[in-house]
Amino acid sequence: MARLDEQTRAFLAEPHFAVLATLNADGTIQQTVMWYDVDGDEILMNTAAGRVKDGNLRRDPRISVCVEDGYRFVTLSGAVRLNEDQATTQADIRRLALRYSDDPANIDAETEHFRHEQRVSLRLNVARVIKRL
């Protein structure tokens, strides 16, 4: 597991979006813009069960995530652990929604639709970091 240095942590703490890359069954790459947060030395993301990335990760947990701000970027790669415990996944999506919300006081209304979905949390165990900060 690669440790995230303070410069990388500071950049990732800014409210950027991540682009998650997974492998489709035919070997092509699938990319998705994602919310993320740093939790220790792991990257937390969350998705609805049944999406393409969910199926890809069940078959092959290796991913790459790129977070950019103009010419500054951090690319993280490694394998994810999937968590399907709904109490955990719902808390995780709420945490991510709060991080990205423009109106935290209205977070319950903003996240109502998530409560009706089967969610999956993704935890990236960072194996490699490439950055230009």
Put the strands of the sheet holding 72-83 in their side by side order. Answer: 29-34, 18-23, 62-69, 72-83, 119-132, 42-48, 37-39
Lookup result for tokens 């709420």: 94
Question: How do residues 22-39 score in pLDDT, each as one tens digit?
Answer: 999 999 999 999 999 999
1-10, 28-37, 50-59, 100-109: which range is least confident on average? Answer: 100-109
Give Cα separations from 84 to 75, 91, 109, 121 (angstroms).
26, 12, 23, 7
**Which domains does the chain show, CATH number per domain?**
6-132 (2.30.110.10)
Residue 53 has pLDDT above 90, yes or no: yes
- 64 versus 103: which is more confidently predicted? 64
**Structure confidence at residue 38 (pLDDT):** 97
Q: What CA–CA distance (Å, rounded) separates 49 from 117?
A: 8
Report pTM: 0.93
Confidence of residue 3 (pLDDT cuts 50, 70, 90): confident
